[in-house]
Structure 1
Amino acid sequence: MPQATSHAKLWVGIACLVLGQWTLSLLDAAGKLLAQSGYHVIMIAWMRYSLNTLLMAAVLAPHFRRRHGRSILHTRRPQLQVFRAALLLLSTVVFFSVLKIAPLSEGTAMNFCAPLFVLAISPWLLKEKSYASRWVAVAVGFSGMLIVMRPGGSISPLGVMLGLLSALVFAAVVVLTRKTNQTDHPMVTLFYGGLVGMVISSAIVPFFWTPHTPSTTEWLILASTGVTSTVGHLLVNSAYKHAEASLLAPYAYLQIISATTMGWLVFGQLPDALTAVGIGIICAGGIGIAFVEHRRVQSDAPGPATP
């Protein structure tokens, strides 16, 4: 029975992760639509973070207080939380800038290099052990990224530079998330990410406001960014409550499918054959190291006690 329960929780975790990734692809598609329509990425980020924070304050914060007996703003590392949240806002702005000029599938694939960058820097910043398998995965992922970003491909030089910057900033966010989650509840980190993003973007959005009044459709798309970001991140967070990160890591790369599907349905864009090969190599590097890391965790885990 315990094994059946474990398998059931794993499938619930996988379902939450896949649904969350598809929901976040809706967010990315909305951001790309708005950016291509002339809305500044700062305005898009402001709407996304403001609605996201208001929804979390209305739903998540009261639930957290009832369950844990303290405010969701309670943190042991306030400066680190604020710094991480500011980097998260920067990551969002840069990524939306990438999507403005790059196809959805290619933009998403470049961002998937972030976990590989984390593997490369974790021995120094997180004091984690360095393994040859991790460096192989980084090399494989980087070779795939070079194919996606090749001269003459579908991404302009500016898109290439922004894609690299987006992956590097997001890698920094991942590292800081690991640090904050060592002392604070993940929901606290999630809420600070939205709150600080809302405060900073609210302070600067008047300087980037789009001069014309949004239509009803555009307002709905803007509003959808807050809803999809909230639902998507809550689903992803729930996934990691039901299953280990090492087990879920390979399934995160299924977002490439949702990004490609949304790119085709909304923008009529599909990667060419060579770009698809590059995307596949990036995913292979990430999925391969995820399986290796899971096997390593399983082998390092203490066995059952002997009578």
Structure 2
Amino acid sequence: MRAAFTPNPPALPVLAPVLAVVAGIAAFSVMDAAMKAASLVLGVGTALLLRNLFGTLLTIPLWLAKGRPTPTRKVALFHFQRSCVTSVMAALFFYGLVRIPMAEGMAISFFAPIIALYFAALLLGETIRPRAIFAALLGLVGMVVIGADRFGAGQYGAEAVKGTAAIVLSAVFYALNLVMQRKQALLAGPVEIALFQNLNVTVLFALFAPFYWTMPDAASLAWTLLGAVLATIALLFLSWGYARAEAQVLVPVEYTGFLWATLMGWMVFGERPGLGIVAGAALIVTGCWIGTRPAQNNT
């Protein structure tokens, strides 16, 4: 009979899981740049299918070395449910990211932690506080500022509108993913989570491959392989960190992704964020901080 996964005791210093999540967010942010480069050539579907296929192959040796931990039926179902959410979230995010700059896409996605407060109320029975409502409004203002900055520069064409809408919708699924991530980290170890998420997402994208498949060249294969390595590293770090600290302590760490996204957008794609993007991101981050602050203080 499979023994339940037991994370390290609560006495573990909070700094360790925070640093693990910082490393995970950094890896994910650099992965975003690699996947944007691959998606521009292959399309989002093919790039994500290859990334998760490579990720599965990379994590199988780690899984074998860990003694082949196998989830119970209930845990396997939860792995699959989160994989479905992740698949939709990733497809929408990269669909949007190939149409707008990385820093802008990351700033808009920061609205997810605010939405996560409402998912926590819906799924976990938590009470929605007035602070959470104010946080949501502040986040909406931040997104309006970002949109106004681009619109004022005359850059808001049809593709940019579709990209922005896709990332906003992706943020909704990312918020649900954040709530599920904490529960999953308490049910299984990092290697098991990484393997089954990569495997499930690969299967899901493979089902629709006949409708979007594009034959990759050597450069796009290299980008997707790099994306797979970085995504696997990020999953391991994030799963380890979320098993050892409360989600509301770690959610603010997500904001470090804006710095990495800005750096990668500038280095890889020559993107330079305007003041409106930075101001909008600051408003969204402030809203998230206000919304999660009471729980952080209690922790």
Any idea what the Cα deviations from partners look like across 1:59-103, whole Å, max 9, x if unmatched? 0354164xxxxx333242544432321221111111111110011
Match of 2:15 in 1: 11
Deviation larger for 118-127 or 94-103: 118-127
Alignment counterpart, residue 250 of structure 1, candidates 249, 252, 258 = 252
Q: 2:186 aligned with 1:174, yes or no?
A: no
TM-score by length of 1: 0.83
- Is the Cα contact below 8 Å between 1:105 and 1:260 reproduced in 2? yes
Alignment counterpart, residue 158 of structure 1, candidates 159, 162, 174 = 162
Shift of 1:148: 1.6
* Bigger CA radius of gyration: 1
Match of 2:199 in 1: 195
Change (3 A) 1:200 1:106: same
Identity %: 24
Match of 2:274 in 1: 272
Match of 2:49 in 1: 46
Aligned length: 284
Alignment counterpart, residue 103 of structure 2, candidates 94, 102, 105 = 105
Q: Tell me the distance in 2 between the aligned counterparts of 1:174 and 1:75.
A: 22
Segments of structure 2 that go 5 or more residues without pairing to the other structure are 1-9
- Is the Cα contact below 8 Å between 1:147 and 1:278 reproduced in 2? yes
Root-mean-square deviation (CA, aligned residues, Å) is 2.6
Q: 2:20 aligned with 1:21, yes or no?
A: no
Q: Tell me the distance in 2 between the aligned counterparts of 1:237 and 1:285.
A: 25
Match of 1:225 in 2: 227
Shift of 1:114: 1.3
Amino acid at match of 2:168: L
Task: Determine helix, strand or coil for the equivalent of 1:102.
Answer: coil
Amino acid at match of 1:50: L
Alignment counterpart, residue 148 of structure 1, candidates 138, 146, 149 = 146
Change (3 A) 1:81 1:236: closer
Change (3 A) 1:196 1:226: same
- Is the Cα contact below 8 Å between 1:56 and 1:191 reproduced in 2? yes
Segments of structure 1 that go 5 or more residues without pairing to the other structure are 1-5, 66-70, 299-307
Amino acid at match of 2:199: L
Change (3 A) 1:62 1:81: same
Task: Determine helix, strand or coil for the equivalent of 1:9.
Answer: coil
- Is the Cα contact below 8 Å between 1:112 and 1:167 reproduced in 2? yes
Match of 1:58 in 2: 61
Shift of 1:269: 0.9
